[in-house]
């Protein structure tokens, strides 16, 4: 079946540090992959996506590359800011596109 595994948190970084949040997936067919971000007290919002192998999604300085060979979609940012403090969810949309599968979320806190 389909599933997403992402690194456990919480993660605490100093401002301007490099961020990596690991995400691996199991899926049948050719899923689409996403990163969603949840700021405190809010619903999730799409951060970036990739719909096929070797695609790179990017937004607000965040990047993730769809690696079919390693079934991974790791999130990276070169220099985090305090405003990036949030919970990050890796997700996939299954082959039929009807269901979304989310990881458990990784909480990021960036300190000045």
Partner 1 sequence: EAQVTQNPRYLITVTGKKLTVTCSQNMNHEYMSWYRQDPGLGLRQIYYSMNVEVTDKGDVPEGYKVSRKEKRNFPLILESPSPNQTSLYFCASSLSPGGNTGELFFGEGSRLTVL
Around Cβ 34, how many Cβ atoms within 10 Å? 24
Piece of 13-21, 61-69, 73-81, 102-110 that binds partner 1 (CB under 8 A): 102-110
Select 19 or 23, whichever has its Cβ closest to partner 1: 23
Give the C-alpha separation, 52 to 57, whole Å.
10
Residue 11, SS3 per DSSP: strand
Residue 82, SS3 per DSSP: helix
Piece of 11-19, 32-40, 63-71, 75-83 that binds partner 1 (CB under 8 A): 32-40
Instruction: For residue 47, state whether it binds partner 1 (rule: CB under 8 A).
Output: no
Which of 26, 51, 59, 79 binds partner 1 (CB under 8 A)? It is 51
Q: Which H or E element spans position 24? A: strand 23-26
Which of 77, 93, 108, 110 binds partner 1 (CB under 8 A)? It is 93
Alpha carbon separation from 107 to 8, 11, 13, 67, 94 (Å, rounded) = 8, 6, 11, 23, 25
Piece of 10-18, 20-28, 41-49, 77-85 that binds partner 1 (CB under 8 A): 41-49
Task: Using CB under 8 A, list all residues that contact partner 1.
Answer: 4, 32, 34, 36, 41-46, 49, 51, 89, 91, 93, 96-105
């Amino acid at each position: 079946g389909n599933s997403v595994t992402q690194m456990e948190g919480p993660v605490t970084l100093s401002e301007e540090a490099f961020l990596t949040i690991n995400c691996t997936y199991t899926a049948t067919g050719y899923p689409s992959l996403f990163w969603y971000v949840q700021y405190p007290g809010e619903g999730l919002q799409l951060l970036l996506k990739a719909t096929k192998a070797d695609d790179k999604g990017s937004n607000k300085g965040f990047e993730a590359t769809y690696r079919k060979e390693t079934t991974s979609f790791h999130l990276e940012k070169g220099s985090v800011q305090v405003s990036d403090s949030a919970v990050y969810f890796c997700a996939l949309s299954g082959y039929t596109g009807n269901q979304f599968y989310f990881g458990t979320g990784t909480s990021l806190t960036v300190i000045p």
